[in-house]
Structure 1
């Protein structure tokens, strides 16, 4: 009898020592779930014992730690009346309904701040950072803590490239955002917002987290929904007629946005980056890189405006329309015409060969005529995402030059032409249970007909073609705080190289790519690994490789201002037809290259460790990275 009583006491003590867990659901009076409602367990004297928030479906899980006692559980949410339930009366799994209640706000005195923080959004006041000499909004952004503007026009936050550039919350320009940042007057912008850890796909919010930030320009009221035009002309005369001109029109509304411009410059200023895609985060099929290129003699280590002899013209028009469902229809047309003149003189004296002298003189005139078009349709909703982008490119580039080697002239001529078409399709659906699935197709065809003049006055006709296609699907679900994605796909690439003969190289690669992400409290962890079977063919040769390519990212917030992060990745890259082909081909008028005829590859490992500090109140941002 005493043994049985002792056993009951031990069981009772162990049950009392365990943590208690309560679950339930929070709704409004109409039965709709309330997300982000606070659920607080309180003990004697109103002390907080445990805390939780409701999810998107209104569900919550509240754990009272071992050794803690709670008397009541409170449900709070802005705009709703507080609900208090004694813990002894709360039934595990029950539904709690909250009624709406107006909140009377006390009169407050607002003191303007240069930087404000609200959740994952930082708001920079343009008036707080702008100086008299600042003309474009890019000039002001460059002065904002944590942000930097590179000479290429690319914008970084905390050392990482931004993944989106919005104007009034709308992505008009995609990766060609330098058209806006370097041409929109700073006096038209009220504030610059940084969306930290920005996930641009609404259906993936709280499912896949991002380490990149996005930028949003908040315009002043007088700059919204009105057509604006700018005409700037600067001219002069030196050895030639000098010019720097700009014609610009723009409008920014909630249903329509547009930027169109024409620019001309022959004073060494780089304006072509304004029509260059600066983003690398959008899913897109790759295009082929050409073997041939325009003649380049190299540039001295001086500012381009001191050494560059250019004659550049760019033209662009960008239009975005939103329909009644808030879907996007976007058209982008860009063109670049550039003529440059290069000269180089070099003399080499060999002291150990009877002071032999080799004198070289080179000159080149290059013309670039490049034209791009992009048409995009995008539906970005909370439970559905559909995007289709069609791109096309064509150029008429050429170079001609003269090389003098010890007085012997050698003419040069090259036409490194390129054309391609790309289509990117992505569909994502989010299910009612919070799970989601996606189907993606990426396609590209590249055609590069090249002509090169050789030293013996013969001409090399070299044609490259590449057909690329990648299709994959994934299914996403959650286990507690861990997000799991199961992806499977197929990737193929066919390359042709035509000289005297026509070589073909092919890759076929089925793969699976599971990934998991965890984000809770101070921790953010992302791990994925691609397992693939790579089959390669060249002429009558075949090769097969089983590949494993892992990637890991970890970040831990030591405090609200200080975080530490680390990453690791391994990459296995097969060589393409340009390093495999047994046909000898010239890359310029004197350089010849021939592949090994064997399947080759390169591998790379990358590891990094970073420490970041961010204090919004003082405006101090710092990040140290090694790796």
Structure 2
């Protein structure tokens, strides 16, 4: 049985930009545009047709009846679904259709089909009876429909989603309406990150689902299930506050209880006659009680496979951010992934390898144990020429020209063990994870014609453990949990100069070691009484950070520069977070008046008055309101927060930051104040493959200045560390997706607008600035015939910046246009051609000169009985350098990045016969 329908687009977005030189945007036109967006979504008047289906023979409820609602005149499908266990169904319908004639159809294999044609409004709230079939069913043929919905589960058939050129599970997920997949593989649904990723109901990957989506073949997957409002803990499913979705991957029967093997090998050569290689293998089996996935790959063709080890699911992330450990512990971080998307895609010159082993065992229906182990290696090179315009007064900038040749080598190893008992009345989780990381960075630089070299060595190790226990007693749930975090990071930065530095030395060495320990203990209580829900958490949080640094600067005759620093920061917080929620039909209102009592101490050794302490009470309220309908959802929240940050976020004693600056800390408390508001509206019509998401956010923040960088002309270089201490941001976005299934047309439009006002301290001055930006990203893909498709994707941005005392904005334009074609002229042969055009223009650097860059790729795939042969030519045309200009707060940057040369690659995707276990 199939259900396909499409609707005509009655209102199109016209005249978004009027071309005049580039495209000129005024605040008035932007405001009107987004008011129209808001009104268009808010005006979606909705009603619903509900009813109950019973058996004529005994008046019992009939579950799993297929219910379809169509327009009686046009015969187009309006909506549909299935009856639940009580025989009830619900179909959303617009108010305008209530007065029109519609046809309501019911079908079930064991009952006779009926169809009623009446005024839509007269069908609401009725009971419908079905008569049993008297004839014997000889044969039943079930055909997969593109989409089915039952309760909070939406099932998408992968075979109906994928198009020409799609190979992996990730390719299929990207085509689901309302789904977004980031460059890092992170999946969001209706603007919110998913909280779980299951394969046949089991959490094999533990949050590292990028390994699965990028390595499981789409041909082995039957369906992707979107579990809306997913609560992972069973005892909370009927009362959960979750508004996040999860994904469950359903494999084909031929891929269950079977070992699936894949192997891809390849070799090539680039324009510089450098040999290239690729090796990628995996083996996985997905059974009812045991699942295993092993992956190994390595290449030097610029792929970013190292990032596949990242934890992406929010429910599984245990990191520094969770324990509020300083984000600046890695003082000497110099990433080789610099630049924008073009540089990361075309300029990555690396040798990389990855190995991953993932296993889960289903001990019982409620108990599971899994282990995930991974190792990654990446060695990358980068070259760039950069011009920096630093603002030193409202009308004056300092120009610094840098040439950098960077070499980075990283090793990463990790292992995680997780035991979970997820019963109807008891929940237990024990998760232990250990990570080892080693980074080695070398850079040859030349600043304003003065050469020098830097070398950073930064090993680190972390250990975390989370234990959680919950018990349900009637309407009450008690939770006790403990989370522990330990890390240690010794680092060293050495600098060598070609000509003597002050003091007649050519070498400076900076040692910096950070050690952190954090422990969070939580006792939670939950009470549910009808529409009222009460959740209360009491947390006791402790963290201690130790930072020790030494600056080796031989013969430096300047007592103003301290050469040693040793600081300990500790914080003990009692946090009480009552969460009160009241439900009224589809509405939900929540209030959380969080209270924090903190005791903070900071001790700096070798300083006479180096001890500081204080106690403070914080009040951080949060109010939320939401509406959840069958097709339309809306939620908003308002938060106010105050907090003490970690000392290392504001106090970096005696850090030597490259040539030219010594950064010291001013011993003062850093207190954040934030007022934020957020609103989201979503509308979806799953049977017509349409989704719309509108978001708006506001933030007003204040961060008192507590650090300063002391600049010294050590080596003819002037630098600074800017620090914004007050600002207001407003942003809004609209995301539209529509698939016209009968004609193979997929459309996607993303529109974003941002406005901010900042007070920024730089070079001892206070600057007040205003900036705004707008981004338009349209995508159109059309499978014109079974053997031919085309796709256009654009990313058009314009940003504006000015100081408050200035009268006009300085615009900056960035555009990326991609056109690709797929053709299947004969069976077994697939051709693909893709072209990209990049455009960049900024008036602040090089007198506003526009820069264009284009590149072409082409592939040909031959499918043979034993393998698929892929011949590809990449990075054809254009230039070996890519020019990028950008405005960053008060300052401007112009950089030329060296890209990979053109290359030819031959790949073999080998085929294996599967064998049942």
Q: If the TM-score is normalised by the length of the shorter chain, which range does it land in?
A: 0.7 to 0.9
Aligned pair partner of 2:403 in 361, 380, 383: 361
Aligned pair partner of 2:290 in 252, 256, 272: 256
User: Which whole-Å CA distance do the structure 2 matches of 1:347 and 1:163 have between them?
Assistant: 42
Matched with 1:156 is 188
Deviation, structure 1 residue 183? 0.8
User: Which whole-Å CA distance do the structure 2 matches of 1:231 and 1:112 have between them?
Assistant: 30
Aligned pair partner of 1:518 in 572, 582, 589: 582
1:405 aligns with 2:443: no
Matched with 1:222 is 254
Shift in CA distance, 220/538, structure 1 to aligned 2, threshold 3 Å: same
What SS does the aligned partner of 1:397 have? strand
Indicate if the aligned counterparts of 1:163 and 1:214 stay in contact, CA closer than 8 A: yes
Shift in CA distance, 357/163, structure 1 to aligned 2, threshold 3 Å: closer
Indicate if the aligned counterparts of 1:454 and 1:590 stay in contact, CA closer than 8 A: no
Shift in CA distance, 104/254, structure 1 to aligned 2, threshold 3 Å: farther
1:503 aligns with 2:555: no
What SS does the aligned partner of 2:526 have? strand
More relative contact order in 1 or in 2 (CA 8 Å, sep 6+)? 2
Q: Which blocks of at least 5 consecutive residues in structure 1 are unaligned?
A: 1-35, 37-52, 56-102, 351-355
The 5-angstrom pairing of residues 407-556 of structure 1 reads 407-431=449-473, 433-454=474-495, 456-499=506-549, 500-539=564-603, 540-556=611-627
What SS does the aligned partner of 2:155 have? strand
Indicate if the aligned counterparts of 1:440 and 1:473 stay in contact, CA closer than 8 A: yes
User: Which whole-Å CA distance do the structure 1 matches of 2:483 and 2:661 have between them?
Assistant: 35
What SS does the aligned partner of 2:677 have? strand
Deviation, structure 1 residue 346? 3.8
User: Which whole-Å CA distance do the structure 2 matches of 1:283 and 1:139 have between them?
Assistant: 24
Deviation, structure 1 residue 359? 5.0
User: Please, what TM-score do these two structures have when normalized by structure 2?
Assistant: 0.54
Indicate if the aligned counterparts of 1:533 and 1:546 stay in contact, CA closer than 8 A: yes
User: Please, what TM-score do these two structures have when normalized by structure 1?
Assistant: 0.79
User: Which whole-Å CA distance do the structure 1 matches of 2:423 and 2:373 have between them?
Assistant: 27
Deviation, structure 1 residue 529? 2.7
The 5-angstrom pairing of residues 602-621 of structure 1 reads 602-621=672-691
Deviation, structure 1 residue 149? 1.5
Indicate if the aligned counterparts of 2:432 and 2:465 stay in contact, CA closer than 8 A: yes
Indicate if the aligned counterparts of 1:208 and 1:483 stay in contact, CA closer than 8 A: no
Shift in CA distance, 491/275, structure 1 to aligned 2, threshold 3 Å: same
User: Which whole-Å CA distance do the structure 2 matches of 1:527 and 1:480 have between them?
Assistant: 17
Indicate if the aligned counterparts of 2:197 and 2:313 stay in contact, CA closer than 8 A: no
Deviation, structure 1 residue 407? 4.1
Task: State the number of aligned residues.
Answer: 526
Matched with 2:413 is 371
The 5-angstrom pairing of residues 256-275 of structure 1 reads 256-275=290-309
Shift in CA distance, 408/283, structure 1 to aligned 2, threshold 3 Å: closer
What SS does the aligned partner of 2:219 have? helix
Deviation, structure 1 residue 264? 1.3
User: Which whole-Å CA distance do the structure 2 matches of 1:283 and 1:362 have between them?
Assistant: 34
Indicate if the aligned counterparts of 2:475 and 2:529 stay in contact, CA closer than 8 A: no
Matched with 2:179 is 147
Shift in CA distance, 283/399, structure 1 to aligned 2, threshold 3 Å: closer
Aligned pair partner of 1:202 in 234, 243, 256: 234
Shift in CA distance, 154/54, structure 1 to aligned 2, threshold 3 Å: closer
For residues 265-312 of structure 1, the C-alpha deviation after alignment (integer angstroms, 9 at most, x for no partner) is 222222122111112233745365423244347325625332111111
Matched with 2:738 is none
The structure richer in strand per residue is 2
User: Which whole-Å CA distance do the structure 2 matches of 1:196 and 1:295 have between them?
Assistant: 40
What SS does the aligned partner of 2:244 have? coil
Indicate if the aligned counterparts of 2:372 and 2:415 stay in contact, CA closer than 8 A: yes
Aligned pair partner of 2:438 in 396, 417, 426: 396
Deviation, structure 1 residue 325? 5.0
User: Which whole-Å CA distance do the structure 1 matches of 2:388 and 2:246 have between them?
Assistant: 51
